[in-house]
Amino acid sequence: MVHRALAKGWRWDFLLGVGLANVALGPGCRDQGGGYDPPVIASRPVGRVGESGPASATATAEAAVPRLALRQPPPAATQRAEERAAMVEHQLAHPVDGRTPITDDRVLEIMRIVPRHAFMPREVRRLAYVDSPVPIGHEQTISQPYIVALMTQVLRVRSGDRVLEIGTGSGYQAAVLAHLTGEVYTIEIVEPLARQARRDLVEQGYADVHCRCGDGYKGWPEAAPFDAIILTSAADEVPGPLWEQLKVGGRLVMPLGPVTSFQELVVLTKRPDGGRSVERVTGVRFVPMTREPDAR
């Protein structure tokens, strides 16, 4: 999954030229070639919205979950700690490029602890804490730190929640989630990535994360229902099996919209009648969800 939060003045032709097909559309973004000036979709600060939105839920989650109470830092957390601290300070907590700051103290602390470099191929580990996605092979990337933190924040995981991730990729997002709850399930369709992510998760002390190689569209029925589901690829509609596997009151975070164009990062909450409450976070562009060949 490729994802990039764009600061004012970044050029689409440069980004696409280096293979960044999926991006978050930050304020002031502009396609300088074609003149496209995408709207700022997020109308409210993430994690600080009205009574029925993320503010109250985030506050509840922060009160319910002691900071990093679930597990000890992974072995590689002793390495490159200063780089992670700088990443959190300048990319997440106090960005200067107009993107919405990450405000959940739990998420910020976890991002300081989890060693992103340990979930990357050795040849690109030097790039672990840059403000960018980084290729990890098989035409996939490890997501930009900011988007991992943002999606984690709006997912609003509480202690004891059962969480399903669609698109394991490197395993980094699953490791971050594992500091919030002991019930993390993750599915990756690319078999070599699924195997490597599992190895890296075990090596870093996350052996309790449940990993599966398969079509994420189908979800994980035998582990359902889930309190939260996160998708790291785009779909033009909410996958039916995933919605069915979400608890009433549960949150589903995904890039929703046309897979050949721009999407919205949304938080969908399941109402008692099965309907959806929608919170729009920001404009994004993600690669499409990959399906098994016989499912197309």
Cβ neighbour number for residue 189 with a 10 Å cutoff: 20
Query: How far is CA 292 from each of CA 107, 215, 295, 296, rounded to the nearest angstrom?
Result: 33, 6, 5, 7
Distance, in Å, from the CA atom of 170 to the CA atom of 136, rounded to the nearest integer, reads: 7
* C-alpha 241, offset from chain centre: 20
Instruction: For residue 290, give the DSSP letter.
Output: P
CA nearest to 175, candidates 202, 194, 137 = 202
Task: Catalogue the E-assigned strands of the chain.
Answer: 24-25, 134-137, 140-142, 162-166, 183-188, 210-213, 226-231, 246-256, 263-270, 276-284
Burial 6-28 (b: 16+ CB within 10 A, else e): bbeebebeebeeeebbbbbbbbe
Catalytic annotation, residues: 143
Structure tokens at 169: 């990729």
Terminal C-alpha separation, the chain:
20
DSSP 147-159: HHHHHHHHHT--T
